[in-house]
């Protein structure tokens, strides 16, 4: 027999880490986080029904992201990672500064831009780095601004790749059509900075394109994805913040949610996450 009260108590008992993206991309980050911190409970939410975010206005990305963060808090998550550069660039600061104090000042929402900006300079010898990202992330100037704080000597060149997320979201990431757009944007980036020796895939969808990206990349250029960087930074954060770590439940459970069709999401997500994913559709 279904007993609503019993269900509520059970949900309350779980206080998972929330991981968010506009679609599938955040799974590339979650995979590394779970590898580094396997004991915790996790909920993933992909807002696939409204993806991509990269070409949407600040106001829209902020509103969508806030709705998703509210949903995570309703699920009992004390900590939410925006595993999406576009949401981190366009919504994180407002949520941290304006919304969180009113919603639940004890909860935390973290992004992926700062942890990446903190380390990118360690990889470059030429001191020229390239950022490949969505239109929204590039337009926000978040990376050049954040990177300058940690590595003022670095020259940062950006390239917006608006077709790359749709290639991933539509399962075209390993098909011949992807080659044209991948080659085009690598060429354009390297024209801007001819000494670039480090390229950051500053969109969590892009690791799905990594094999094709490598094909078109000149030898000697280091390609960085964010999964491991963000995972390492989270391990460090949890060590420094026992007040948050102590609130997280340790069950080793993973729940995968999408705002769009669950069967379709589960199929693609299994490929991106690297293990079988059974997803559920949720309404925000």
What are the DSSP calls for 241-284, one per residue? -HHHHTTS--S--EEEEESS-HHHHHHHHHHHHSS---EEE---
Taking each helix axis from N to C terminus, what angle separates 227-240 and 26-36, rounded to the nearest 10 degrees? 50
- The residues, any chain, with a CB within 8 Å of residue 111's CB and separated by 6 or more, are 81, 82, 85, 87, 88, 89, 92
Q: What are phi and psi of 283, to 5 degrees?
A: -105, 130
Residue 115 makes contact with ligand DGL by CB under 6 A:
no
Q: Which is nearer to ligand DGL, 49 or 103 (CB)?
A: 49
For the beta sheet containing 222-224, the strands, ordered from the edge strand earlier in sequence to the opposite edge, are: 155-160, 128-133, 198-201, 222-224
CA-atom Rg of the chain in angstroms: 19
Binding-site size, ligand DGL (CB under 6 A) = 17
Q: Does 84 sit near ligand DGL (CB under 6 A)? A: yes
| Contact of 19 with 78, CB cutoff 8 Å | no
Q: Which residue is nearest to ligand DGL (CB)?
A: 54
Is position 32 an interface residue for ligand DGL (rule: CB under 6 A)?
no
Q: What's the CA gap between 252 and 264, in Å, rounded?
A: 24
Segment 160 to 189, residues that bind ligand DGL, using CB under 6 A = 165
Q: How far is the CB of 223 from ligand DGL (least distance, A)?
A: 16
Q: Which of residues 185-244 bind ligand DGL (CB under 6 A)?
A: 203-205
Distance of closest approach, residue 52 Cβ to ligand DGL, in angstroms: 3
C-alpha closest to that of 86 among 60, 107, 67, 104: 60
Selected from 16, 18, 46, 52, the binder of ligand DGL by CB under 6 A is 52
Residue count of the chain: 284
Q: SS3 of 85, please?
A: helix
Query: In angstroms, what is the minimal distance from the CB of 88 to ligand DGL?
Result: 8
Residue number with CB closer to ligand DGL (136 or 193): 136
50 binds ligand DGL, rule: CB under 6 A: no
Report, in Å, the least distance between residue 270 CB and ligand DGL: 18
DSSP notation for 151-162:
-TT-EEEEEE-T
Q: Which is nearer to ligand DGL, 165 or 248 (CB)?
A: 165
Q: Which of 48, 65, 116, 134 binds ligand DGL (CB under 6 A)?
A: 134
Which of 137, 158, 198, 233 binds ligand DGL (CB under 6 A)? It is: 137
Catalytic residue among 77, 161, 203, 257: 203
Q: Is the dihedral of CA 235, 29, 55, 266 positive or negative?
A: negative
254 touching ligand DGL, by CB under 6 A:
no
Residue 84 annotated as catalytic: yes
Q: Which residues are catalytic?
A: 84, 203
Give the footprint of ligand DGL on this chain (CB under 6 A): 21-23, 25, 51-54, 84-86, 134, 137, 165, 203-205
């Amino acid at each position: 027999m279904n007993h609503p009260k019993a269900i509520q108590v059970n949900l309350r008992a779980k206080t998972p880490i929330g991981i968010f993206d506009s679609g599938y991309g955040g799974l590339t980050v979650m995979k590394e986080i779970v590898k580094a911190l396997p004991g915790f409970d996790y909920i993933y939410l992909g807002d696939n029904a409204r993806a991509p975010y990269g070409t949407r206005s600040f106001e829209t990305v902020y509103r969508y992201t806030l709705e998703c963060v509210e949903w995570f808090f309703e699920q009992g998550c004390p900590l939410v990672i925006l595993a999406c550069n576009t949401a981190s660039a366009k919504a994180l600061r407002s949520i941290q500064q304006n919304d969180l104090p009113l919603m639940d000042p004890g909860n935390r929402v973290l992004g992926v831009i700062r942890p990446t900006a903190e380390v990118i300079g360690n990889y470059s010898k030429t001191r020229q780095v390239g950022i490949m990202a969505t239109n929204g992330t590039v337009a926000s100037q978040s990376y050049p601004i954040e990177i300058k704080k940690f590595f003022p000597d670095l020259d940062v060149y950006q390239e917006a790749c608006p077709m790359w997320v749709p290639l991933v979201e539509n399962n075209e990431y390993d098909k011949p059509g992807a080659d044209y757009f991948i080659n085009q944007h690598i060429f354009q980036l390297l024209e801007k900075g001819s000494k670039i020796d480090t390229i950051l895939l500053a969109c969590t969808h892009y690791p799905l394109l990594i094999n094709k990206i490598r094909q078109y990349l000149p030898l000697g250029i280091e390609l960085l994805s964010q999964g491991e960087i963000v995972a390492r930074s989270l391990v460090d954060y949890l060590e420094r913040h026992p007040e948050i770590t102590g609130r997280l439940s340790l069950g080793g459970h993973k729940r995968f949610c999408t705002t769009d069709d669950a069967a379709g999401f589960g199929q693609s997500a299994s490929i991106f996450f690297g293990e079988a994913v059974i997803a559920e559709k949720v309404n925000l």
